[in-house]
Chains A and B, each alone.
Chain A
Amino acid sequence: MKRTTLRLGSQAQAATRIAEQWGLEGQATALRLALRVVAQDCPAAAIPGNLHAAVGRAVPYALDAVDLAAAQTIATAYGLTGVSAACRVALYLVATRGLTLRNPITTEV
Protein backbone atom coordinates (compact mmCIF):
# COMPACT_ATOMS: atom_id res chain seq x y z
CA MET A 1 0.00 0.00 0.00
CA LYS A 2 1.24 3.43 -0.86
CA ARG A 3 0.25 6.57 0.97
CA THR A 4 -1.09 8.92 -1.66
CA THR A 5 -2.28 12.45 -1.08
CA LEU A 6 -5.41 13.30 -3.02
CA ARG A 7 -7.52 16.38 -3.55
CA LEU A 8 -11.02 15.07 -4.07
CA GLY A 9 -12.94 18.32 -3.54
CA SER A 10 -16.68 17.82 -3.66
CA GLN A 11 -16.19 14.22 -4.71
CA ALA A 12 -15.10 13.39 -1.18
CA GLN A 13 -18.78 13.74 -0.24
CA ALA A 14 -19.66 11.51 -3.16
CA ALA A 15 -17.32 8.89 -1.73
CA THR A 16 -19.12 9.09 1.60
CA ARG A 17 -22.50 8.70 -0.08
CA ILE A 18 -21.30 5.70 -2.10
CA ALA A 19 -19.94 4.08 1.04
CA GLU A 20 -23.25 4.57 2.85
CA GLN A 21 -25.33 3.39 -0.07
CA TRP A 22 -23.34 0.25 -0.71
CA GLY A 23 -22.48 -0.57 2.87
CA LEU A 24 -18.75 -0.14 2.36
CA GLU A 25 -16.27 0.50 5.10
CA GLY A 26 -15.73 4.20 4.67
CA GLN A 27 -14.67 6.68 2.05
CA ALA A 28 -11.38 5.01 1.21
CA THR A 29 -12.99 1.69 0.31
CA ALA A 30 -15.56 3.48 -1.83
CA LEU A 31 -12.79 5.32 -3.65
CA ARG A 32 -10.77 2.18 -4.30
CA LEU A 33 -13.83 0.27 -5.48
CA ALA A 34 -14.81 3.13 -7.76
CA LEU A 35 -11.35 3.22 -9.31
CA ARG A 36 -11.46 -0.49 -10.08
CA VAL A 37 -15.00 -0.49 -11.42
CA VAL A 38 -14.50 2.49 -13.72
CA ALA A 39 -11.12 1.24 -14.96
CA GLN A 40 -12.74 -2.01 -16.12
CA ASP A 41 -14.70 -0.32 -18.89
CA CYS A 42 -14.09 3.42 -18.86
CA PRO A 43 -17.61 4.10 -20.18
CA ALA A 44 -18.21 6.92 -22.61
CA ALA A 45 -19.26 9.91 -20.55
CA ALA A 46 -19.15 13.67 -20.54
CA ILE A 47 -16.84 14.71 -17.74
CA PRO A 48 -17.69 18.06 -16.10
CA GLY A 49 -14.86 20.55 -16.46
CA ASN A 50 -14.59 21.24 -12.75
CA LEU A 51 -13.42 17.68 -12.12
CA HIS A 52 -10.18 18.41 -13.95
CA ALA A 53 -9.10 21.07 -11.49
CA ALA A 54 -7.55 20.12 -8.18
CA VAL A 55 -9.62 21.69 -5.44
CA GLY A 56 -10.19 21.06 -1.76
CA ARG A 57 -7.81 20.02 0.94
CA ALA A 58 -5.20 17.32 0.49
CA VAL A 59 -6.06 14.08 2.28
CA PRO A 60 -3.85 10.99 2.42
CA TYR A 61 -5.29 7.68 1.22
CA ALA A 62 -3.69 4.26 1.17
CA LEU A 63 -3.79 2.91 -2.38
CA ASP A 64 -2.21 -0.29 -3.63
CA ALA A 65 -0.66 -1.04 -6.99
CA VAL A 66 -3.98 -2.17 -8.47
CA ASP A 67 -5.63 1.11 -7.42
CA LEU A 68 -2.83 3.19 -8.91
CA ALA A 69 -2.90 1.22 -12.15
CA ALA A 70 -6.65 1.75 -12.34
CA ALA A 71 -6.16 5.49 -11.78
CA GLN A 72 -3.62 5.56 -14.60
CA THR A 73 -6.04 3.75 -16.93
CA ILE A 74 -8.79 6.25 -16.11
CA ALA A 75 -6.49 9.24 -16.55
CA THR A 76 -5.43 8.01 -19.97
CA ALA A 77 -8.97 7.21 -21.09
CA TYR A 78 -10.42 10.58 -20.13
CA GLY A 79 -7.39 12.76 -20.78
CA LEU A 80 -6.80 13.65 -17.14
CA THR A 81 -3.66 14.79 -15.40
CA GLY A 82 -2.76 13.03 -12.20
CA VAL A 83 -4.16 10.47 -9.80
CA SER A 84 -6.38 12.98 -8.01
CA ALA A 85 -8.28 13.86 -11.17
CA ALA A 86 -8.73 10.16 -11.97
CA CYS A 87 -10.11 9.58 -8.49
CA ARG A 88 -12.56 12.47 -8.81
CA VAL A 89 -13.81 11.21 -12.15
CA ALA A 90 -14.13 7.65 -10.85
CA LEU A 91 -16.20 8.83 -7.90
CA TYR A 92 -18.29 11.09 -10.11
CA LEU A 93 -19.15 8.25 -12.50
CA VAL A 94 -20.04 5.81 -9.75
CA ALA A 95 -22.04 8.43 -7.87
CA THR A 96 -24.10 9.30 -10.93
CA ARG A 97 -24.39 5.89 -12.59
CA GLY A 98 -24.16 3.48 -9.73
CA LEU A 99 -21.51 0.98 -8.87
CA THR A 100 -22.44 -1.07 -11.89
CA LEU A 101 -21.14 0.37 -15.07
CA ARG A 102 -21.11 -2.86 -17.01
CA ASN A 103 -23.94 -4.49 -18.80
CA PRO A 104 -24.82 -7.99 -17.71
CA ILE A 105 -22.24 -10.18 -19.38
CA THR A 106 -22.33 -13.60 -17.92
CA THR A 107 -24.17 -15.89 -15.63
CA GLU A 108 -23.36 -17.33 -12.30
CA VAL A 109 -25.00 -19.94 -10.14
Chain B
Amino acid sequence: MAKSQSFTASPARRSTAARITSVGWFLVLLGAGLLALVLLGGGKWLLSQLPAAPTATPTPTAPPTGAAPTATPTLTPTAAFPATWAAGMYQDANGQWWPAEDVREQVQQMVEQHYLKCDAIFYSGPLAEILPDISDNTVQQCWGVAMQGAILNLRQQMQQGLYQLDATKAGTVISSRSIAVQNFSQDGLTCQLGDTHLAGQYWVYTPQTQAFETQDIPVDGLINGQQQLGVKIVQMHYDQEDGRWKIEQFVQWIPRP
Protein backbone atom coordinates (compact mmCIF):
# COMPACT_ATOMS: atom_id res chain seq x y z
CA MET B 1 0.00 0.00 0.00
CA ALA B 2 1.41 3.39 -1.04
CA LYS B 3 1.80 6.14 1.40
CA SER B 4 -0.44 9.23 1.07
CA GLN B 5 1.28 12.42 -0.16
CA SER B 6 -0.46 14.47 2.55
CA PHE B 7 1.24 12.57 5.25
CA THR B 8 4.40 14.24 6.47
CA ALA B 9 6.72 12.81 8.98
CA SER B 10 6.65 14.55 12.34
CA PRO B 11 9.84 16.25 13.34
CA ALA B 12 11.78 14.71 16.16
CA ARG B 13 10.13 15.04 19.61
CA ARG B 14 10.98 18.43 21.21
CA SER B 15 12.37 18.73 24.74
CA THR B 16 10.11 19.74 27.62
CA ALA B 17 11.77 23.11 27.86
CA ALA B 18 11.12 23.74 24.20
CA ARG B 19 7.51 22.77 24.53
CA ILE B 20 6.78 25.28 27.46
CA THR B 21 5.46 28.56 26.28
CA SER B 22 6.51 31.92 27.67
CA VAL B 23 3.41 32.05 29.85
CA GLY B 24 4.30 28.67 31.19
CA TRP B 25 7.80 29.83 32.06
CA PHE B 26 6.31 32.77 33.92
CA LEU B 27 4.12 30.49 36.00
CA VAL B 28 7.04 28.15 36.76
CA LEU B 29 9.24 30.99 37.97
CA LEU B 30 6.40 32.46 40.06
CA GLY B 31 5.83 29.12 41.77
CA ALA B 32 9.50 28.65 42.47
CA GLY B 33 9.67 32.10 44.06
CA LEU B 34 6.70 31.41 46.32
CA LEU B 35 8.16 28.07 47.33
CA ALA B 36 11.44 29.73 48.24
CA LEU B 37 9.69 32.31 50.42
CA VAL B 38 7.74 29.61 52.23
CA LEU B 39 10.85 27.54 52.82
CA LEU B 40 12.86 30.50 54.15
CA GLY B 41 10.08 31.66 56.49
CA GLY B 42 9.48 28.19 57.78
CA GLY B 43 13.17 27.70 58.36
CA LYS B 44 13.42 30.83 60.43
CA TRP B 45 10.39 29.80 62.46
CA LEU B 46 11.87 26.39 62.99
CA LEU B 47 15.17 27.86 64.18
CA SER B 48 13.35 30.12 66.61
CA GLN B 49 11.74 27.08 68.18
CA LEU B 50 15.05 25.34 68.86
CA PRO B 51 16.52 25.69 72.36
CA ALA B 52 19.11 28.43 72.64
CA ALA B 53 22.57 27.21 72.08
CA PRO B 54 24.73 27.27 75.26
CA THR B 55 26.74 30.45 75.71
CA ALA B 56 30.36 29.90 75.18
CA THR B 57 32.22 29.97 78.55
CA PRO B 58 35.38 32.00 78.47
CA THR B 59 38.19 29.60 78.94
CA PRO B 60 41.44 30.69 80.45
CA THR B 61 43.96 31.18 77.87
CA ALA B 62 47.04 29.23 78.46
CA PRO B 63 50.05 31.45 78.61
CA PRO B 64 52.20 31.20 75.61
CA THR B 65 54.79 28.62 76.07
CA GLY B 66 57.97 30.13 77.29
CA ALA B 67 56.40 33.55 77.91
CA ALA B 68 56.70 33.28 81.67
CA PRO B 69 58.77 30.96 83.81
CA THR B 70 56.67 28.10 84.97
CA ALA B 71 56.73 27.41 88.72
CA THR B 72 58.55 24.24 89.54
CA PRO B 73 56.38 22.21 91.88
CA THR B 74 58.26 21.93 95.16
CA LEU B 75 57.55 19.14 97.58
CA THR B 76 57.00 20.83 100.92
CA PRO B 77 57.19 18.28 103.68
CA THR B 78 54.03 18.50 105.74
CA ALA B 79 54.56 18.07 109.45
CA ALA B 80 52.41 15.45 111.08
CA PHE B 81 51.47 17.82 113.91
CA PRO B 82 52.19 21.34 112.70
CA ALA B 83 52.43 24.20 115.18
CA THR B 84 49.15 25.84 114.29
CA TRP B 85 49.89 28.84 116.52
CA ALA B 86 53.13 29.68 114.72
CA ALA B 87 51.43 31.86 112.12
CA GLY B 88 49.83 34.07 114.77
CA MET B 89 52.89 34.89 116.88
CA TYR B 90 53.04 38.52 117.99
CA GLN B 91 55.49 40.70 119.85
CA ASP B 92 54.49 42.63 122.95
CA ALA B 93 55.72 46.07 124.00
CA ASN B 94 58.71 44.51 125.76
CA GLY B 95 59.79 42.68 122.63
CA GLN B 96 58.62 39.27 123.88
CA TRP B 97 56.99 36.89 121.39
CA TRP B 98 53.71 35.18 122.28
CA PRO B 99 51.14 32.98 120.56
CA ALA B 100 48.00 34.89 119.61
CA GLU B 101 45.80 35.83 122.57
CA ASP B 102 43.07 33.33 121.75
CA VAL B 103 45.45 30.35 121.82
CA ARG B 104 48.17 31.60 124.14
CA GLU B 105 46.89 29.92 127.27
CA GLN B 106 46.21 26.73 125.37
CA VAL B 107 49.78 26.59 124.07
CA GLN B 108 51.19 27.35 127.52
CA GLN B 109 49.11 24.54 129.01
CA MET B 110 50.34 22.17 126.31
CA VAL B 111 53.97 23.00 127.15
CA GLU B 112 53.28 22.55 130.85
CA GLN B 113 51.46 19.24 130.43
CA HIS B 114 54.17 17.70 128.30
CA TYR B 115 56.86 18.88 130.71
CA LEU B 116 55.05 17.58 133.78
CA LYS B 117 54.34 14.24 132.15
CA CYS B 118 58.03 13.68 131.57
CA ASP B 119 58.94 15.07 134.97
CA ALA B 120 56.58 12.53 136.54
CA ILE B 121 58.38 9.70 134.75
CA PHE B 122 61.94 10.77 135.45
CA TYR B 123 61.36 11.84 139.03
CA SER B 124 58.96 9.12 140.08
CA GLY B 125 61.78 7.55 142.06
CA PRO B 126 65.45 7.96 142.79
CA LEU B 127 67.32 8.69 139.59
CA ALA B 128 69.72 5.83 140.29
CA GLU B 129 66.79 3.43 139.96
CA ILE B 130 64.74 5.20 137.31
CA LEU B 131 67.38 6.01 134.74
CA PRO B 132 68.73 2.51 134.03
CA ASP B 133 65.21 1.27 133.25
CA ILE B 134 64.03 4.19 131.16
CA SER B 135 63.04 3.15 127.62
CA ASP B 136 64.38 4.63 124.39
CA ASN B 137 60.84 5.63 123.53
CA THR B 138 60.42 7.63 126.72
CA VAL B 139 63.72 9.39 126.17
CA GLN B 140 62.71 10.30 122.63
CA GLN B 141 59.30 11.52 123.76
CA CYS B 142 60.61 13.73 126.53
CA TRP B 143 63.91 15.09 125.36
CA GLY B 144 65.09 16.99 122.34
CA VAL B 145 67.58 15.42 119.97
CA ALA B 146 70.54 17.20 121.54
CA MET B 147 69.77 15.76 124.98
CA GLN B 148 68.75 12.27 123.94
CA GLY B 149 72.29 11.11 123.26
CA ALA B 150 73.58 12.32 126.62
CA ILE B 151 70.78 10.62 128.52
CA LEU B 152 71.04 7.34 126.63
CA ASN B 153 74.79 7.41 127.20
CA LEU B 154 74.32 8.02 130.91
CA ARG B 155 71.75 5.21 131.04
CA GLN B 156 74.18 2.84 129.39
CA GLN B 157 76.94 3.75 131.81
CA MET B 158 74.63 3.19 134.76
CA GLN B 159 73.44 -0.13 133.36
CA GLN B 160 77.04 -1.25 133.00
CA GLY B 161 77.91 -0.06 136.47
CA LEU B 162 80.42 2.45 135.11
CA TYR B 163 78.67 5.39 136.68
CA GLN B 164 76.86 5.68 139.97
CA LEU B 165 74.86 8.67 141.02
CA ASP B 166 75.84 10.26 144.27
CA ALA B 167 73.34 9.01 146.80
CA THR B 168 72.90 12.56 148.08
CA LYS B 169 71.81 13.61 144.60
CA ALA B 170 69.21 10.94 144.22
CA GLY B 171 66.60 13.47 143.21
CA THR B 172 63.59 15.22 144.58
CA VAL B 173 59.87 14.74 144.21
CA ILE B 174 58.21 18.12 144.01
CA SER B 175 54.77 18.16 145.57
CA SER B 176 54.09 21.87 145.27
CA ARG B 177 55.22 23.84 142.28
CA SER B 178 54.34 26.71 139.99
CA ILE B 179 54.96 26.67 136.26
CA ALA B 180 55.54 29.70 134.07
CA VAL B 181 55.89 29.46 130.28
CA GLN B 182 57.35 32.41 128.41
CA ASN B 183 60.20 33.66 126.22
CA PHE B 184 58.79 32.18 123.03
CA SER B 185 60.84 32.29 119.88
CA GLN B 186 59.50 34.21 116.89
CA ASP B 187 58.58 30.99 115.09
CA GLY B 188 56.66 29.75 118.13
CA LEU B 189 58.55 26.47 118.27
CA THR B 190 60.75 27.23 121.26
CA CYS B 191 60.02 28.69 124.68
CA GLN B 192 61.29 28.60 128.23
CA LEU B 193 59.56 26.95 131.12
CA GLY B 194 60.19 27.95 134.71
CA ASP B 195 59.41 25.31 137.30
CA THR B 196 59.32 26.89 140.73
CA HIS B 197 59.83 24.23 143.38
CA LEU B 198 57.91 25.24 146.47
CA ALA B 199 57.84 22.03 148.51
CA GLY B 200 58.46 18.33 148.18
CA GLN B 201 60.44 15.32 149.29
CA TYR B 202 63.89 14.14 148.55
CA TRP B 203 65.26 10.64 148.24
CA VAL B 204 67.68 9.45 150.87
CA TYR B 205 69.75 6.32 150.52
CA THR B 206 69.86 4.36 153.75
CA PRO B 207 72.91 2.06 153.83
CA GLN B 208 71.42 -0.12 156.54
CA THR B 209 68.43 -1.04 154.44
CA GLN B 210 70.23 -0.47 151.14
CA ALA B 211 67.17 1.30 149.86
CA PHE B 212 65.99 4.80 149.10
CA GLU B 213 63.45 6.50 151.31
CA THR B 214 61.80 9.89 151.05
CA GLN B 215 62.01 12.72 153.51
CA ASP B 216 60.34 16.10 153.40
CA ILE B 217 62.43 18.97 152.12
CA PRO B 218 62.86 21.32 155.11
CA VAL B 219 61.03 24.62 155.07
CA ASP B 220 64.26 26.51 154.40
CA GLY B 221 64.90 24.16 151.46
CA LEU B 222 68.41 23.31 152.61
CA ILE B 223 69.72 19.74 152.48
CA ASN B 224 73.38 19.33 153.32
CA GLY B 225 73.81 23.04 152.70
CA GLN B 226 72.32 22.87 149.23
CA GLN B 227 69.14 24.70 148.37
CA GLN B 228 66.54 22.31 146.95
CA LEU B 229 63.83 24.90 146.46
CA GLY B 230 63.99 27.53 143.76
CA VAL B 231 63.32 27.97 140.09
CA LYS B 232 64.48 25.48 137.48
CA ILE B 233 64.40 26.85 133.97
CA VAL B 234 64.50 24.68 130.86
CA GLN B 235 64.17 25.42 127.18
CA MET B 236 61.36 23.56 125.47
CA HIS B 237 61.06 22.83 121.76
CA TYR B 238 57.98 21.69 119.86
CA ASP B 239 58.55 18.58 117.73
CA GLN B 240 56.14 18.81 114.81
CA GLU B 241 56.58 15.17 113.92
CA ASP B 242 55.67 13.91 117.40
CA GLY B 243 53.29 16.71 118.33
CA ARG B 244 55.12 17.12 121.63
CA TRP B 245 57.00 19.80 123.48
CA LYS B 246 60.35 18.36 124.51
CA ILE B 247 63.01 19.49 126.93
CA GLU B 248 65.71 20.84 124.68
CA GLN B 249 68.15 22.31 127.15
CA PHE B 250 68.61 23.02 130.80
CA VAL B 251 68.98 26.77 131.22
CA GLN B 252 69.62 27.44 134.87
CA TRP B 253 68.75 26.75 138.47
CA ILE B 254 67.96 29.77 140.59
CA PRO B 255 68.04 28.78 144.26
CA ARG B 256 65.41 30.35 146.43
CA PRO B 257 66.95 33.22 148.46
A21 interfacial contact with B, CB 8 Å? yes
Residues in chain B near residue A100, CB distance under 8 A: 183, 192, 194, 233, 251-252
Stretch at the interface among B18-26, B147-155, B206-214: B147-155
Residues in chain A near residue B231, CB distance under 8 A: 22, 33, 99
A102's contact among B94, B151, B178, B251, by CB below 8 Å, is which?
B251
* Separation of A106 and B147 alpha carbons in the complex (Å): 11
* Separation of A47 and B12 alpha carbons in the complex (Å): 133
B107 interfacial contact with A, CB 8 Å? no
A23's contact among B96, B147, B178, by CB below 8 Å, is which?
B178
B196's contact among A23, A37, A67, A108, by CB below 8 Å, is which?
A23
Whether B233 contacts A99 by the Cβ 8 Å rule is yes
A88 interfacial contact with B, CB 8 Å? no
Chain A count of residues within 8 A CB distance of the other chain: 26
Whether B250 contacts A107 by the Cβ 8 Å rule is yes
Whether A22 contacts B257 by the Cβ 8 Å rule is no
Chain B count of residues within 8 A CB distance of the other chain: 31
What would 19 more interface pairs be, CB under 8 Å, given A32-B257, A37-B254, A107-B250? A22-B231, A23-B178, A23-B196, A25-B198, A29-B256, A33-B231, A33-B257, A66-B257, A96-B95, A96-B96, A98-B183, A98-B194, A99-B180, A99-B194, A99-B233, A100-B194, A109-B131, A109-B151, A109-B154
A57 interfacial contact with B, CB 8 Å? no
* Separation of A93 and B194 alpha carbons in the complex (Å): 16
Across the A-B interface, how many residue pairs have beta carbons closer than 8 Å? 73
A104 interfacial contact with B, CB 8 Å? yes
B256's contact among A33, A99, A103, A107, by CB below 8 Å, is which?
A33
Chain B at the A interface: mostly helix, strand, loop or mixed?
A: strand
B182's contact among A24, A25, A98, by CB below 8 Å, is which?
A98
Whether B252 contacts A107 by the Cβ 8 Å rule is no
Q: Which of A1-49 contact B (CB under 8 A)?
A: 21-25, 29, 32-33, 36-37
Whether A108 contacts B250 by the Cβ 8 Å rule is yes
Q: What is the chain B residue whose CB lies nearest that of A28?
A: B257
Shortest distance between the CB of B163 and any CB in chain A (Å) = 11
B250's contact among A24, A97, A104, by CB below 8 Å, is which?
A104
User: Which 7 residue pairs are nearest across A and B when measured between Cβ atoms?
Assistant: A23-B178, A104-B249, A32-B257, A108-B250, A96-B94, A23-B196, A104-B251
Q: Which of A41-87 contact B (CB under 8 A)?
A: 64, 66-67
Shortest distance between the CB of B17 and any CB in chain A (Å) = 114
Q: What is the chain B residue whose CB lies nearest that of A67?
A: B257
